[in-house]
Amino acid sequence: MAKLLEPSQDKREAFLRMAQEWLDHGNDRYRLAVEDFDAYLARVHQFRDAARIPVGWVPGTEFWLDDDAGEIVACVRLRFWLTPSLEVDGGHIGYDVRPSSRGRGFGTAALGLVLPEARRRGLERVRLTVDSDNLPSIKVIEQNGGVLSGEAISARTGKSIRQYWIDTPR
């Protein structure tokens, strides 16, 4: 069974394998980690403290999903609160599954495992948003109790998005 981990030096090599895979697939979301893992980890820790983040940003944390074989197969980020714009597009939780690990339930697991973390931080429900054409992610959200609450056009991408609420477990 997969488990959520706090980002740490202990999983450096496993995380870097995942980050490099993203780069190899043309996505630079983890470029900083590949170039300077220590800086990436410092940034993750910095964003947990509202007093240490840039003005206009929201504090949050990141977790890594370990597949029980020692590989990092997904990342999930939890924002501690929302701005009005994040309520429309962005939400409390974002996640991504490494390309070679998709279609194996890791997205569903990552989201399901972070919901109790959200509750521990005082969030009784969380907002998630997803591109309307991202059917795998829609399935992940709905399998975790997501209730469609609206649709909008993303101000960032111009794409149609779906907006969901999920009640966190008591």
What pLDDT was estimated at residue 124?
97
What pLDDT was estimated at residue 1?
82
pLDDT band at 70 (very low <50, low <70, confident <90, very high): very high
Residue 56 pLDDT > 90, yes or no? no
What pLDDT was estimated at residue 123?
97
- What number of other Cβ atoms are within 10 A of residue 91's Cβ? 22
Residues 6+ apart with CB under 8 A from 15: 7, 33, 37, 64, 72
**All structural domains of the chain:** 3-167 (3.40.630.30)
pLDDT in tens, 17-41: 999 999 999 999 999 999 999 999 9
Q: What share of the chain in percent tops pLDDT 90?
A: 96
What pLDDT was estimated at residue 80?
97
Residue 77 to residue 21: CA distance in whole angstroms: 19
Helices (H) and strands (E) in the chain, counts: 6, 7
**Beta-bridge partners for 78:** 61, 93
Name the token pair of 128.
């998630």
pLDDT in tens, 98-157: 999 999 999 999 999 999 999 999 999 999 999 999 999 999 999 999 999 999 999 999
Polymer length of the chain: 170
pTM here? Answer: 0.94
Name the token pair of 100.
């070679």
Mean pLDDT, the chain, rounded, equals 96
Indicate the helix (H) or strand (E) that contains 150: strand 147-153
Q: What share of the chain in percent tops pLDDT 70?
A: 100
Residue 55 to residue 51: CA distance in whole angstroms: 9
